[in-house]
Structure 1
Amino acid sequence: MIVAIDAGNSRIKWAVHERSGWLDRGVLATADVAWLADAADEWPAVARVVVCNVAGKAVAEAISSVLGKRYGRIVFLHPSAEACGVRNGYEHAWQLGADRWAALIGARGLSTAACLVVCAGTATTVDLLDGTGLFRGGLILPGFDLMRESLARHTAQLPFAEGAFRDEPRNTEDAIFSGCLQAQLGAVERVFATLARECDARCLLTGGAAGHLAAHLQIPFECVDDLILKGLVRYADTV
């Protein structure tokens, strides 16, 4: 039995997994990390806990404090040179975000073909994983909502746009919405072009903003729920 915890900048997602699949799951604001204690009351006492944390040292310490007495050893995933069939091509392996590393591990568990791993959350990450299991590098850019928030915060005349996607926007709301989404789509599709000739190459798309991208992507793709949690479960079997 494994409890996988994905502590991100905005939210903490958790799920309980056994061989037959997911048994339970939940989500809370990262600022409410102490509430994990209430969730843990329902988790099996014999479970192994594995965590991916990109929310900083204080959140990591809070998770350890909240869960440590009940579960003893809590494993935090950290990027390494190699894990679960994925080789890390970053110049300095330790600089790679744990969430990106977990997503790559999860992607390799789903497919041995080349894939572009896209996590569309507060930030959008676009990572190249070739057919040999080598992570070749990737992009980090502001997420779709963060782009819109930045325009609203730093310009006097532009709102936080709740517009619609248009090929030829003719009002400001649609222009902002479409421009921010086109920037996301363009980054994903340009990077995918470097994998497109590899056999069965595809894009694996996950994260809260995945639906916005999925509606307009013009490359082979698959939406995968909880890819980071899936990677944590794979990693837990090795430690």
Structure 2
Amino acid sequence: MPADRFVVVDISNSFAKIATVRERGLGKVERKATADLDRPFLQSLAVRHAGAPVVLASVVPAKTEIFAALFSRSLFLVHGKAPLGFAIEYPKPSEIGGDRLANAAAALHFWTPPVVVIDFGTATNFDVVNASGAFCGGIIAPGLDLMTDYLHERTALLPRVRLLEPKRGIGRSTVEAIRVGAVHGYRAMIRGLLERIREELGTDRLTAVATGGHAALVARGLAEVACVRPNLTLEGLRVLGQRWLAEPRSGRGARHRARA
């Protein structure tokens, strides 16, 4: 097996993404509902990738424990106290999700800091790397689906809608009005938060990149966002995995796991 072949896994609250890294690139990305990551599926994954190291970012502790048991021989669990190769300027590093740290690793690999990664998931995270190349914090906002689903669930007449680009700025139907509020409103929120980040960092030079489920839709109308990278978190895990596997075996050990 080539030394640079390993598996990267990003487990969010809603979905997991799994990919094999070969020849310094990502293979086909498998997407699966997090609820379906049961032990039989993960056992089949272990058989498919027998012997391959695994680099894991997970925000679902129950799934993390199954991975830790099945891939115990060579597992790199990304967390705030793991050797990541960049500084963390954060009061409690253990509180930082592994996906956010993977985003920071990708940001430093592909762009010159300061960089902010806007990750559109169940929540929308803004992961900030300052000018010195340190992860320094961010912002967590409700995700677009959470907002629109909540409207439907908490009202008698508002429907659940499929999020699409609105045709105008003033909705001419209930569905269109919800889309305007969600898409245009979300863009306005992002503009305001990016401006606040620039002010706090004390710079006009800030690269903003987007990833995650609704990134393409929202970023389409945001000149402030330089580009959309759908699998940026997995790319960050790839970067961290290559760095980890390049360490002397005695230095990296069999695995790194979060400790309470």
What's the TM-score, normalizing by structure 2? Answer: 0.80
Corresponding position of 2:89: 89
Structure 2 CA distance, aligned partners of 1:81 and 1:29? 27
Displacement after TM superposition at 1:191 (Å)? 2.6
Structure 2 CA distance, aligned partners of 1:10 and 1:79? 22
Map residues 1-239 of structure 1 onto 2, 5 A cutoff: 1-34=5-38, 35-43=41-49, 45-55=50-60, 57-68=61-72, 72-80=73-81, 83-85=84-86, 87-162=87-162, 164-165=165-166, 166-193=168-195, 194-195=197-198, 197-199=203-205, 201-236=206-241, 237-238=243-244, 239=252
Structure 2 CA distance, aligned partners of 1:233 and 1:119? 17
Displacement after TM superposition at 1:159 (Å)? 1.2
Structure 2 CA distance, aligned partners of 1:135 and 1:108? 10
Structure 2 CA distance, aligned partners of 1:171 and 1:75? 50
Q: SS of the counterpart of 2:132? A: coil
Aligned residues: 232
Contact in 2 for aligned 1:102/1:231 (Cα 8 Å): yes
Encode CA deviations 1:192-216: one digit per residue, 9 max, x unaligned. 22438444x3211000111221221
Alignment root-mean-square deviation, CA = 2.2
What's the TM-score, normalizing by structure 1? Answer: 0.87
Structure 2, unaligned runs of 5 or more = 245-251, 253-260
Structure 2 CA distance, aligned partners of 1:97 and 1:19? 27
The amino acid across from 1:48 in the alignment is P
Corresponding position of 2:256: none
Structure 1, unaligned runs of 5 or more = none
Displacement after TM superposition at 1:148 (Å)? 0.5
Structure 1 CA distance, aligned partners of 2:149 and 2:232? 26
Change (3 A) 1:75 1:136: closer
Q: SS of the counterpart of 1:38? A: helix
Structure 2 CA distance, aligned partners of 1:192 and 1:141? 13
Displacement after TM superposition at 1:17 (Å)? 0.7
Q: SS of the counterpart of 1:41? A: helix
Structure 1 CA distance, aligned partners of 2:24 and 2:75? 23
Contact in 1 for aligned 2:89/2:135 (Cα 8 Å): yes
Displacement after TM superposition at 1:4 (Å)? 0.6
Contact in 1 for aligned 2:210/2:225 (Cα 8 Å): no
Contact in 1 for aligned 2:58/2:64 (Cα 8 Å): yes
Q: SS of the counterpart of 1:17? A: strand
Displacement after TM superposition at 1:20 (Å)? 3.5
Amino-acid identity (%): 28
Q: Which stretch shows the higher mean deviation, 115-124 or 177-186?
A: 177-186
Structure 2 CA distance, aligned partners of 1:145 and 1:82? 34
Structure 2 CA distance, aligned partners of 1:135 and 1:169? 40
Structure 1 CA distance, aligned partners of 2:43 and 2:222? 40
Corresponding position of 2:258: none
Encode CA deviations 1:60-81: one digit per residue, 9 max, x unaligned. 122233444xxx2322111239
Q: SS of the counterpart of 2:118? A: strand
Q: SS of the counterpart of 2:160? A: coil
